[in-house]
Amino acid sequence: NVNLIFHAAAYKHVGVVEINPLEGLRNNLLTTRSICRAAIKNNVKKMILISSDKAVRPTNIMGGSKFLSELIVKEFSKNNQSSTKFASVRFGNVIDSSGSVIPIFREQIKNGGPITITHPEMERFFMTISEAVELVLQSSVLTNGGETFILNMGKPLKIIDIAKKMIYLSGLKIKD
């Protein structure tokens, strides 16, 4: 018997979803609904959606899809006739994960640039892999159903500042 589902299956790369918005929405929303239904059908005790800080006041389609996925999870929690408990856990950019800008910038610097930044005012929260894992595990223990767990990640960092620091730390200078 399955007791716990961590739903991390989603398109989480902003660029991929922006280029393929309908597929991104279809994948992220329909998989969430399907997993919630499967959890109820199979009497799973808890289902935790892995969401994103981009779901807060979404500025792109990927963030909007994660916000809507959270709403789907909340609806299943409210209208649930089974014993399955549903919750979401939201956190920021996991340093050195496949979705992080850090490895992308590292590769762009290694290749001599340019570094691509979508907008100079773009900010993100950053956390370590162990912080992300701890938050997910804590949410699975603490949930009573319907919550969205959010890690206190401090202040967001400007992506452009991170890029500048990485350039400097690699011994290079920024061209004007």
Give the catalytic positions in this structure: 54
For residue 42, what is the DSSP state? T
Say how far apart CA 108 and CA 142 lie, in whole Å.
40
Residue type, 115: I
Diameter of the chain by CA atoms? 61
Say how far apart CA 24 and CA 11 lie, in whole Å.
6
The DSSP annotation for 46-70 comes to EEEEE--GGGSS--SHHHHHHHHHH
